[in-house]
Amino acid sequence: MSLREEINQDLKIFLKGRKELEVLTLRQVLSAVLNKEKEKRFNLSKENQNVTEEESKLTDEEILDVVNLEVKKRREAAEGFEKGGRMESVEKEKKEMEILKKYLPEQISEEEIKNLVAKAVESVGAKEIKDMGKVMAELMPKTKGKADPALVGKIVKEALGQ
């Protein structure tokens, strides 16, 4: 079953169960997926005038990117609400993040990230902070969707003595 089918199936279950927050959250994700497909179709149509709807469908990996982006938006919103003292809104954002995390691959631990960073630093021969780009380029395929890029960047900076 594709990720899109899984989200749609869960949406139907939540609709029947009258779970408002879950329904709202999944509809927002599906809307973001649809917008990304329109963007993809537009970009493809620049190269080829006859782009079918099937060609512009997002792959599971692309849908994962959208879900990751939605989680990131909610994390940032929760941080903003927390600074503003709006704890009710913080809780709502965190609940939405938990709903969305169900569709992401299992996250790797901070310890595993540190091990991957150490290997990447060694393999690219990084010595100082200006080598961070090389290290990140080595790491991103291994951590994509499995770890928060901000956390990975922070650990790389620590490893490079920043």
Parse the chain into domains and list their residue ranges: 3-101, 110-159
* CATH among 2.60.120.10, 3.40.50.740, 1.10.1510.10, 3.40.50.720 for 3-101: 1.10.1510.10
> pTM to 2 decimals?
0.75
Going by C-alpha positions, the residue among 57, 67, 62 that lies closest to residue 37 is: 57
**Does residue 30 surpass a pLDDT of 90?**
yes
Q: Is 110 exposed, middle or buried (0-12, 13-18, 19+ CB in 10 A)?
A: middle
Evaluate whether 3-101 and 110-159 have a shared fold: no
**116-159 tens-digit pLDDT:** 888 888 888 878 788 888 888 888 888 877 887 788 888 888 88
**Does residue 52 surpass a pLDDT of 80?**
no
3-state secondary structure 40-106: HHHHHHHHCCCCCCCCCCCCHHHHHHHHHHHHHHHHHHHHHHHHCCCHHHHHHHHHHHHHHHCCCCC
> What is the rounded average pLDDT of the residues 77-85?
92
What is the DSSP secondary structure assignment for residue 129, as one 8-state letter? Answer: G
| The amino acid at 32 | A
Q: Are 132 and 98 in contact (CB under 8 A)?
A: no
Give the model's pLDDT for residue 128: 79
> What is the rounded average pLDDT of the residues 71-96?
92
Q: Are 3 and 70 in contact (CB under 8 A)?
A: no
Q: 3-state DSSP call for residue 110?
A: helix
Give the model's pLDDT for residue 142: 84
Burial 28-57 (b: 16+ CB within 10 A, else e): ebbebbeebbeebeeeeeeeeeebeeeebe
Q: Are 156 and 116 in contact (CB under 8 A)?
A: no
How far is Cα 58 from Cα 140, in angstroms, rounded to an integer? 20
Please name the fold of domain 110-159: Arc Repressor Mutant, subunit A (1.10.10)
**Does residue 162 surpass a pLDDT of 70?**
no
